[in-house]
Structure 1
């Protein structure tokens, strides 16, 4: 094959970005776009041309510009910041266009007029570190600038940039002397987040109480998850109205993630938006919009805050897991092992439970006082032995370890939830409900807890209440409620809604003789002979020695005699061995 010649050259790259572009567009799209067009024609394009720059790429909220020298790039960047400030002086502060700028010099790849490579990527990462109205440049650019300009850049220290192998020393310029840059706070050993005050875009300043209420409810809800490090309200609200970049807020507060959002009343509807952002890079990890009727504004506040909290925890855990998976396994810490174990546990792989146990074992070995790791280890050991059908000694050992976990950390809701599940499998229904109640006292935002409550209510003879819990769990955390369908199937069967129950059991994530037996009972009660026979054949293939009596004794956790008899009747009707 012929060699393809890659064109490379040394270039100074300027990356510019409009601060809070999404908020400006949300507040007034037409005015913002018109203002950007005017600013570009009157300020940006002339200045770039004067400094011999070439616009490589235009995005809605920024641009990549190439220069032949660092001196030209920096001079242009300073002129842009000063020219933009002058142009926007008469604009209300909340509507002003403000830029962040990053500059790097390095080798770039030229492809169809576009520029690629680390030289461009570093400039973009530096832009994300810059405060509004300021410029951040790399050490390589600073060295070429030395002695050629009177501009004063202050040393902001070495920074680790996303997807850049080596740390980069950063230099900072601002139109007005900024405060000395303190060393960034060390990140906690668990996911850390600050919730910034949601913007009130309703045009009614008196409605700020509602956007503040949403923010405070989210902070309170997240703080109940002991797996998270959550910045207190006073610290988060200190940045209200200040032109501080998200990267700088993350640096000052020492957090990995930021949540920002807005509330807007439009006619008879409320629109609430939320975005989860990685603080260092400014990357958006998750965003959602909620449209509600403001008939009962405080009910709306509670509902949206709870939905955001439960969804957010899953997204943060997923993002942290992706970071963990990029590390070599030889350097695992206890928390990393727990995350890996949870990822295995939630998968559908045949070896998932065994792999999860191995990770939880490592977590406990690394930190013998890690309460949640003890809880999950007890739980997966029980899972490997068949849950309720496990030998008594396995059930007893799981109970002892789960109790020990609560002794280690009595305020961890997950430990109470898991102990509740183990009590449930031991058919200790009152204790199961007691510990689940305690789990909800500690964290009413736990969607997994709602799922467990739904199953418990079903088996305690309250299927209508169970369906309400299960539907709420599925709504709050639709990506994680994989057992919503089979658990709802149990409730639907007790309500004699056999057709719906059959559809639910068909969606069991890991079909076994347990789920096929339930399915056979549904079809038998419906009088659908062919489907019943197919389900029975699958049961006997998986478990040739299946008997209805043993199934009811070992695997059925229905507390009330009438519910148990309805199921036993369906199994006998299906033709399964007595």
Structure 2
């Protein structure tokens, strides 16, 4: 049985849609619907199982507990619902679930944890920093609440990717927090994902990252996140078919998650299929018009006209649209200079050199007040015809383990470094072997 991820399901909260229509969009046969009421320190949850084909309620039950027993009640609901659907849970596994989940959890701790999990999905610096505040508040109340510690590690592992924070300031903390979370509870998926992200973005140790992501998949087969990051690993190594197949499994679990579907477009783009990448990206923007990562990837795809049927490189129609996408991405990112770097590159590529140089000067001015990642500045330098400066910035990127180094193999714009310099950069980024393998294919 497959279970759709919470991030895909929650968009239907408070939406007036027929059960049949929701089920059709999610491609499911059954839906579980519930209501929650709190009163005088107690919580009452009513759950019913609905058959999608006709909306018939096949089973319903109510659960009532004191508020601090809410997590134990969730396990009861899960077991009761599974039984109602006809899933047979072997006795020792059911006992294990009850044993691991039955301890009373402080209601405020759980509330802060859930708020943080929601904010994490937005992938912006302010949202992730707010998530960190909630998680720290949760841990101040309960210092050994492993889920909060694991999610805090995940937050620190995401910040250098989604914001301008330096890798050295984030990844060691992510490593430490994830290790502590695993020591408290080895089943914490977020902790293993965080360890994988440290190896992926910071150390570029592909085998170690793969191990962590696969282990996280085993721990929680219903979580789309480890599958998504495993697909990311395949993609940046040029293993494009594996990337798309693995992401397809994540999409089954989480079909309308903005970040998962954005990566569908992203990995198609990495595979040189920019035209195909546009459809999933535009689907994301229909659901989440302010999702900056989708605007960024749409701009990249539109600015690569050699992959678009009938489009002549250098023509302005798709390039202007790409620039508009980069501008929207800059607006909604709230603290990421990647859209600016690609906007500079696109303007220079279509002959708007004066505007590109002005934007590059703006980038350098921004760097004086808030340090911008070296590879973003290097891409801008390449665009305005300063290859020596770009090479110096690549040296800086290696010195600080800039996370964008992982994209050297799949981002064609870096070919402008020249054959020798590009080959050297791939070697130092632990990517040259994959370049040879993809060339052999």
TM-score bracket, normalised by the shorter chain, equals: 0.5 to 0.7
Query: Could you tell me how far apart the structure 2 residues matched to 1:417 and 1:339 are?
Result: 18
- Higher relative strand content: 1
Unpaired runs of 5+ residues, structure 2, are 1-35, 43-63, 286-290, 328-338, 344-358, 364-376, 380-389, 419-441
2:210 equivalent in structure 1: 433
2:322 equivalent in structure 1: 535
Pairs within 5 Å for 1:521-560: 521-523=303-305, 525-526=307-308, 527=313, 528-536=315-323, 538=327, 539-540=339-340, 544-545=362-363, 546-548=377-379, 549=390, 554-556=402-404, 558=406
Task: Choose from 449, 456, 459 the match for 2:233.
Answer: 456
Q: Work out whether 1:497 is the aligned partner of 2:273.
A: yes
Pairs within 5 Å for 1:396-415: 396-415=172-191
Q: Deviations over 1:457-516 (max 9, x none)?
A: 21232221221222222222224x221233122321233212012444554722489646
8 Å Cα contact 1:375-1:405 kept in structure 2: yes
Query: Could you tell me how far apart the structure 2 residues matched to 1:164 and 1:397 are?
Result: 40
1:432 offset after TM fit, Å?
A: 1.0
Say which SS state the counterpart of residue 186 (structure 2) adopts. Answer: coil
- Higher relative helix content: 2
Query: Could you tell me how far apart the structure 1 residues matched to 2:222 and 2:98 are?
Result: 9
Query: Could you tell me how far apart the structure 2 residues matched to 1:222 and 1:472 are?
Result: 29
Task: Choose from 69, 79, 83 the match for 1:188.
Answer: 69
What TM-score do you get using the length of structure 2 for normalisation? 0.52
1:356 offset after TM fit, Å?
A: 0.9
1:342 offset after TM fit, Å?
A: 0.9
Pairs within 5 Å for 1:44-123: none
Q: Work out whether 1:510 is the aligned partner of 2:292.
A: yes
Task: Choose from 125, 143, 147 the match for 1:368.
Answer: 143
Query: Could you tell me how far apart the structure 2 residues matched to 1:392 and 1:532 are?
Result: 36
1:228 offset after TM fit, Å?
A: 5.5
Query: Could you tell me how far apart the structure 1 residues matched to 2:217 and 2:276 are?
Result: 29
Structure 1 residues 185, 357: CA separation in 2 closer, same or farther (over 3 Å shift)? closer
Structure 1 residues 382, 196: CA separation in 2 closer, same or farther (over 3 Å shift)? closer
1:339 offset after TM fit, Å?
A: 0.8
Which entry has the higher C-alpha Rg, 1 or 2? 1
Number of corresponding residues: 283
Query: Could you tell me how far apart the structure 2 residues matched to 1:225 and 1:347 are?
Result: 32
8 Å Cα contact 1:502-1:522 kept in structure 2: no
8 Å Cα contact 1:459-1:557 kept in structure 2: no
What TM-score do you get using the length of structure 1 for normalisation? 0.41
1:557 offset after TM fit, Å?
A: 5.2
8 Å Cα contact 2:274-2:301 kept in structure 1: no
8 Å Cα contact 2:196-2:212 kept in structure 1: yes
1:196 offset after TM fit, Å?
A: 5.6
Task: Choose from 95, 110, 115 the match for 1:340.
Answer: 115
